[in-house]
A and B are shown apart, each in its own frame.
Chain A
Amino acid sequence: MGESIAVLIIFFIIVVIGFVFYMNVLNASSEIEKEENLQLKAIEIAQMASFLPELQCSQDNVRRENCIDLLKLEAAEGLIRKNSIYHMYYNDIFESSNISIEQKFPTNKRWILYENIPENYTNKISTFIPISIFDEKNEQYNFAILSVKVYK
């Protein structure tokens, strides 16, 4: 009788250890899944930001890849950041992220297109995409980086 009880106790201890281990494994795999989902989200937002028709250079309705029109950018910056209706519209697209454009050549300049940084974020993924800024007035292409930071 005593032996059977001892065996049962040990068996249940093993079951409890196994369960705790299983929960830890489950937790670890869900963390991995969260990280992967955030990465996919970051790619999606970066792609959407770099192909925004509102900003892309175009001539005769033909869009130029990896190019942002300076006039459109300056206008959009003012609208998206200062007008709450536009900010709400872009909030559906860009969610919790920070999208800025940093000009690196010929001079250093920075435009913040969209900003929605959560107060207590636990993870951040940054994506950098080289793009040209087309200055219509001076007919010149400047070298810039589209920086997309996605927060979770």
Chain B
Amino acid sequence: MKSVAYIVIGIFFGIVMLKSEAASWFRIYEMFQFKSFHMYGIIGSALVLGIIFIQLIKRYKIKTFNGEEIIFTNKNKSIIRYLLGGIIFGLGWALAGACPGPLFTLLGAGFFPIIIVIIGALLGTWFYGLLKSKLPH
């Protein structure tokens, strides 16, 4: 039953990604050219509501549907890994025009060359695992 819920949430996410054009290479290009408010509007409005949701959960100690406590783990403090990792991610986001969510949505939409990007993303993840101990964190 829970499995169905995860798939349904994913379907909802996939439809929103494709239909909001957040999965379009062109929208990402336009965002990095500062030529349109579209992507900033999506991320910004998601954020405003997201902050409200999380504050409400914390303030009113809202539980999961199963009655468990919702735990937020703080991210480890560092600058270098977030900045360097972020820059590398940003280079790829602009070049491939897709972040990890839309990668899968575009596959479902039938843009099969995205498979090359997915293979690349898996290789990149694997290389990170191999090099992790040698990188500054």
Q: Please indicate whether A and B come from the same complex rather than being unrelated chains.
A: no
- Chain A positions within 8 Å of B, measured between CB atoms, are none
- Chain B positions within 8 Å of A, measured between CB atoms, are none
